[in-house]
Structure 1
Amino acid sequence: MSYIDILKNAPDLVSPGISACQGCGAELILRRVLQIAGPDSIFAIPPGCMAGAGVVGWNEANGQKTPVHITLLDNTASFLSGLSRMYQRKGRSDVNIVALAGDGATADCGFQSLSATAERGEKMLYICYDNEGYMNTGYQRSSTTTRGSRTSTTPLGSVISGKPQEQKYMPLIMAMHNIAYCATASPSHMKDFIEKIQKGLAASKEGFAYIHVFSPCPTGWAYKSHEGISIARRAVKSNMFPLWECKNGTYRLNDTNPKPIPVSEFVKGIGKFKALSDTAISEIQHMVDARFELLKKLSES
């Protein structure tokens, strides 16, 4: 069955009207993950855009049509560890245990419990929707925020001009935990996205699986709400967000991208990058090229 047929036939497990921003990348990710995981799933979603806008609902009603726990920012993976083990003791392998967390709850506040959970090989699928900041509280920088990005805590001015530090590259950090499955995905490449969710769910029955998803944000990043998919596509084409996967220690690039577009093309029209100088763009380009070469070497080995 093609991925189009899968999505046509799978029910939408989020209420039609939610309070996510118009053009929200994370909302699309939430809906597609739920369609693939199906109703026999239990989710943990820590505070963030999708906990506040996608799940909570109104009048004590849940906007998500599966069981969901809104965990703390720092305990999502450890919470699901206990839940996963409970179902294992009951002999229930038919329930999908899934986390859907933002980059702040993944790379920053929740990294300690996430790393420990991955190291133990707990049986679950952990998905990070990375919109490169703490968007739900006004767009503060996170460790996955791209260098040079304007945020409320890295403003543009004479003292500081965007985030001065390099981006933490979470997918490779997680792959180095020797987990059952690790991948990157983008809503602009839906076939690849769906296949990786399916692989991640299958791997979660054997051990820990992690998928890092590019999640453009029109509100924080300052671009027109209809441009999210084209921006996500440019991120892949420029190697700012390369698509790859690692299963049991074997790496594979899903898009070798023989003719990548320059980073200068990716940042066009994105307000958070409006103050980037030619020197800053060149430095980001160097980082992107070096990271892609590393991924190529890992895949070739």
Structure 2
Amino acid sequence: MSLFEWLISKRNVSLKQNVIKSSLQVPEGLWIKCDKCDSLMYYKTLLNNFKVCPKCQHHFPTSSQDRINHLFDDYTWQSLNSNLASTDPLGFFDRKSYSKRLEDMKLKTGLSDAVQTGIGCINNISVACGIMDFRFMGGSMGSVVGEKLTRLIEVATISKMPIIILCSSGGARMQEGMLSLMQMAKISSALHKHREQGLVYFTVLTSPTTGGVTASFAMLGDLILAEPQALIAFAGRRVIEQTIKEELPDNFQTSEYLFNHGFIDLIISRTHLRSQLYKLLSFYC
């Protein structure tokens, strides 16, 4: 074989290999692996199951907009106070300024802050609802989160509507200092006035629900629901162990542990949440 013929044969082999490789390439985002059971599934299959693994029922993180689409009747969601946005009252700066973090989060999530509030219908029952979004600075509770939830509760009180708040938060927002902690009392006070009118309030705890949110409105519901295996806590596990000088159970701070100890009323899978909320609303309303 001449050198020229050898080069041609090598080129043909290379072309065949490239064709095989291109035919085996999988489009990005087509498949996803479950974090818990490692099963591989189509991403579309996961979306159709409300981001719950069909094999092990592991609940993937989801956005506030996905929850709105899942829970409420089509075209009934009316957003409230969507233009409210945090400022930087303390001029807080760590690795970058707080104002820059807010700008980055707005661009990344398309949200003005860590909660969406509005009024929607669940099988024609009108509900005032707040849905926290962990993607926005860990769902932290700043002054805007507190203000939006308080205004929502006031609207529900005047309109005689039930309230549902879906919690997903790392706690109070440290970049706003005492201003963020004040929201705990402000929201709780508004809920007290709502309850005085004989109106019902449900909370749905998702993973994670921690810190000042757990210490205030998340645990004030007439009924407290939670997703399976959700992390629900006030302080971190290590802090508690170091404080009480004891080793905690493996399932400590899960929704199942709290249910067994009377802190939670129901554990409901995301796939059944809409139907269960409708049953509860039908009973109370």
TM-score range, shorter chain: 0.3 to 0.5
Using structure 1 for the length normalisation, give the TM-score: 0.33
Using structure 2 for the length normalisation, give the TM-score: 0.34
Comparing both chains, which one has the higher relative contact order based on Cα–Cα distances under 8 Å and sequence gaps of 6 or more?
Answer: 1
Please tell me whether Structure 1 or Structure 2 has the larger radius of gyration of its CA atoms.
2
